[in-house]
Structure 1
Amino acid sequence: MFKLLGNLSVYFKYQDIRTDNALFRLHNTFTTVLLLTFSIIITASQFVGQPIQCIVSGIPAHVVNTFCWITSTFAMPDAFAREVGKEVAHPGVRNPYDGTTEKKYYTYYQWVCFVLFFQAIMCYTPKFLWDFFEGGLMRTIVMGLNVGVCKSKEKEKKKELLIGYLLRYQREHKMYALRYFGCELLCLINILVQMWLMDSFLGGEFYNYGTKVLGYSDVPQELRFDPMIYIFPRVTKCTFHKYGASGSIQTHDSLCVLPLNMVNEKTYVFLWFWYVALATLLSMLLVYRLIILFVPSIRPRLLHARSRSIAMETAASVSRRCDVGDWWLLYMLARNMDPIIYREFIAEFSKRLDEKPSSRA
């Protein structure tokens, strides 16, 4: 397992050229690795260990274990709030005195590892799309200027090539910015869709799962029952039928222990808080991007904040002459170029822009 988890470190390799922001990477890289880690741990516990152990008399234990694992187990919802040891044997476990008693069936547990893996693919999709759209443009135009130590002639030549490219293709980078903003929007949509999918997967119990866990300690001891046990029970029941010696159908009622649910409950508690935090931050990021798109007056301040080495007047002059696509390219160049080289480049680029006929941004 440690070897498998160690292979995930490739996702955290240092990138000398960044074409996205930290929140984008939290969604696409960290969350993907997080889900893959949970999937690997649960897979190892499920297929290497003993995910279920049932107690039943007269039938080989491994037969009942296999049957109850591949079919389903159940609990009695009204038995979770009853006193353990007096009214019920375990939370949610009591005898169904008649066939009309409501049962809550649990069939999801053998699918958790696969669902988590599918969620990891969904989280990686925005990064895959952005890498395809970006096509290595930022690395190409930076041309190694992210390293400040270089020969003067080489530096001047590269700066001239970069300025020439930006002047030649001025106002042709709008789709570059919009595609990136679209991938950030896709991150938010993905988080919201995944929360809905997890809620459906867990029988409508995911949306308020975290709040129930937080409120668990505030409930009086005599009235409380663990919400994690209700969604991920550790002891359930299973009914096994077989033919007796005379050919009549015999019913065997077994008690099943699910140690794997100890891992599942902690996994989904963490995912609830993580997804709520991500959804909140991505919503704020979406508002921030809308401000960038529809309030051009804020762009010079952001460019100056990104690179304090450039004058505010220069940032205002450049932002006024560029549309949102060119501005975003300059903003990302400030992140990837050496600060001193960027200051020299943006000053020269501003002068060259002033030499061109004026046009609206």
Structure 2
Amino acid sequence: MFKLLGGLANYLKQQDIVTDCAIFRLHNLFTTALLMGCSLIITASQYVGRPIQCIVQDRNPHVVNTFCWISSTFTMPDAFNRQIGSEVAAPGLSNDFDDVHAHKYYTYYQWVCFALFFQGIACYTPKFIWDKFEGGLMKTLVMGLNIGATPEDIKNAKKEIVIEYLLEHLKKHKLYAIRYWCCECLCLVNIIVQLYLMNKFFDGEFLSYGLRVMNYSNEVQEERVDPMVYIFPRLTKCNFFKYGPSGSIQKLDSLCVLPLNIVNEKTYIFLWFWYMILASLLTILVIYRVCMILSPKLRTRIFHAKNYGLPYEVSRIITRKTDIGDWWVLFMLGTNMDTLIFREMISELSKRIEVKPSNRR
């Protein structure tokens, strides 16, 4: 299992050059690794062990197991509130009296590993798109200046190259920034869509799943129903029909144990909390970006706070003399470059950027 999951560690390695924010990486890298890991664990449990074991009076139980796994099993929702041991054999199991409308069918368990896999791909998509748009610009501009122990002549030459590039391409990075912020918005859209689809996947039970689990212990003992057992039942029923010796149709009413649902219920309760946290963080991030774009004063304060020790007047000049795209490029350069080198470069840039274009040379 360690070898199986070891490859996912590549998603969590620290990046040498950062082109995005921490919340963006939580969505694209950590969540992708989490979903892929869950998919691998459930796949291994599903196809290596016994995902279903049915109790049936028959010489070929393997046939019934296979049939119930590939078709579906069911419970009776009204039986979850009955007394176990006296009224029902297990939560949700009772005599249906051939009332098919009383059945609640469970068909999701064959698809959980595939659903998690495609969710992981969807979470990685914004990073894939951004990497294509970014094109290595930040790595090109940093030019090794993220290492402070650089010879003075080499350091000065590289700083001059970066400053000349920024002056020459002033107010030409707006599309660069907009593309990144659109990818951040795509992350939020992705999480919201995934929450909606997971809710549909579990017949409208997922969105309230975590809240119901938290409130379960506070409910009255006689009236409460374990939401984990309700959504991920450990014991279900399955009807298998076959022909008897005389050619008549016989019905085998079997009880089926689903040990895989023990893994599923823990996986999805963790995913519920994580998705809610991530959706909240991404919502705050998008609101923060909108405020940042609309307020130059806020950008000045953010830039000054990020590069503490840089004079406030320098931060104000940078914000006033550049557009939002240039400001974002400089902000990300401050994230990647050595602090002292970046301060020196920004101080020099603020002096030159005040000079009129005709007098720069």
Normalised to the residue count of structure 2, the TM-score between the two structures is 0.98
Per the alignment, residue 118 of structure 1 pairs with 118
* CA shift for structure 1 position 101: 5.1
Matches within 5 A, 1:260-275: 260-275=260-275
Per the alignment, residue 290 of structure 1 pairs with 290
Matches within 5 A, 1:253-332: 253-332=253-332
Distance 2:58 2:314 in 1: 85
Residue 111 (structure 2) pairs with residue 91 (structure 1) = no
Distance 2:203 2:90 in 1: 22
Residue 240 (structure 2) pairs with residue 212 (structure 1) = no
Task: Give SS of 1:251's match.
Answer: strand
Change over 3 Å in CA distance of 1:192–1:348 after alignment to 2:
same
Amino acid at match of 1:247: G
Distance 2:145 2:100 in 1: 74
* CA shift for structure 1 position 136: 0.4
* CA shift for structure 1 position 72: 0.3
Task: Give SS of 1:7's match.
Answer: helix
Per the alignment, residue 340 of structure 1 pairs with 340
Q: CA RMSD for the aligned pairs?
A: 1.0
Once superposed, which parts of structure 1, at least 4 consecutive aligned residues long, lie more than 6 Å away?
none
Residue 177 (structure 2) pairs with residue 177 (structure 1) = yes
Amino acid at match of 1:329: V
Amino acid at match of 2:17: I
* Contact 1:309–1:339 under 8 Å retained in 2: no
Distance 1:272 1:101 in 2: 30
Matches within 5 A, 1:56-205: 56-99=56-99, 102-205=102-205
Distance 1:12 1:207 in 2: 28
User: Where do 5+ consecutive residues of structure 1 fail to align?
Assistant: none
Task: Give SS of 2:286's match.
Answer: helix
Matches within 5 A, 1:225-244: 225-244=225-244
Task: Give SS of 2:191's match.
Answer: helix
Distance 1:170 1:357 in 2: 10
Task: Give SS of 1:239's match.
Answer: strand
Per the alignment, residue 252 of structure 2 pairs with 252
**Cα displacement string for residues 161-216 of structure 1 (whole angstroms, at most 9, x for unaligned residues):** 00000000000000111111000000000000000010011111111111111110
Task: Give SS of 1:89's match.
Answer: coil
Change over 3 Å in CA distance of 1:103–1:205 after alignment to 2:
same
Deviates more, 1:306-315 or 1:344-353: 306-315
* Contact 1:108–1:202 under 8 Å retained in 2: yes
* Contact 1:141–1:162 under 8 Å retained in 2: yes
**Cα displacement string for residues 238-297 of structure 1 (whole angstroms, at most 9, x for unaligned residues):** 000110111111000000000000110111111111111111110010010001111111
* Contact 1:72–1:105 under 8 Å retained in 2: yes
Normalised to the residue count of structure 1, the TM-score between the two structures is 0.98
Task: Give SS of 1:165's match.
Answer: helix
**Cα displacement string for residues 293-345 of structure 1 (whole angstroms, at most 9, x for unaligned residues):** 11111111111111113111111111110000000001001100001100100
Distance 2:58 2:164 in 1: 84
* Contact 1:309–1:340 under 8 Å retained in 2: no
